[in-house]
Chain A
């Protein structure tokens, strides 16, 4: 029944050590999104893919990159994590507009 899957659910990395978060979907949706959510705040959009077209938000730091090798998978790469990048990272997908979220990956930076 899983529709939007995120692995791992918890990720610990070291300051400055590159980390990759994964998202996959079984919905065959053409749009995939990555959000960052910090405690007691709403999700903040980092970027999204419409099919293979990448759309970066203007205020997303260059430290954050994304790859979408095929319809089902999308990756979030953080090149040099800082302490301020510790957060919940949410993947979402949409087909007809309504967004469906995955369970999230909690990132801890030591």
Chain B
């Protein structure tokens, strides 16, 4: 089945620094999604990418859908303490009744004030 490799597994950065994380897949997806999960909460959608090559921003977050459709990255600029959490990438191939997500294993981000 499809698998996602998400890296890095964890990051420890200073407040104000930029951070980048990425996901690669052994096969193509037609949608890439990035979620953030705080402890004890459900994942919150940050950015959805629907088109190969698409670059989308949401505030300090920027994500890109790789041109090969097998990868995506998420950048966070000027990190702040509330950016702490686990970031998950997810790939999706929607069609018919199948909207299943394939998740990466997550990137744990720690921001030191």
- Which positions in A face B, CB cutoff 8 Å? 4, 6, 31, 40-43, 45, 48, 50, 53, 55, 88, 90, 92, 94, 97-104, 106
Select one of A40, A53, A101 contacting B43, CB under 8 A. A101
Interface SS of chain A: strand
- Closest chain A residue, CB of each to CB of B86: A40
- Which positions in B face A, CB cutoff 8 Å? 31, 33, 35, 40-45, 48, 88, 90, 92, 94, 97, 99-101, 103-106
Give Cα A40–Cα B35 distance, bound, in whole angstroms: 15
Give Cα A98–Cα B49 distance, bound, in whole angstroms: 10
Does B40 contact A43, Cβ atoms closer than 8 Å? no
Given contacts A90-B42, A97-B92, contact A53 B97 (CB under 8 A): yes
Does A103 contact B105, Cβ atoms closer than 8 Å? no
Chain B nearest CB, measured from A40 CB (Å): 8
Given contacts A31-B99, A43-B103, A45-B101, contact A104 B40 (CB under 8 A): yes
Does A94 contact B99, Cβ atoms closer than 8 Å? yes
Does A42 contact B105, Cβ atoms closer than 8 Å? yes
Chain A residues lying within 8 Å of B42, measured Cβ to Cβ, are: 4, 6, 90, 92, 101-104
Chain B residues lying within 8 Å of A45, measured Cβ to Cβ, are: 100-101
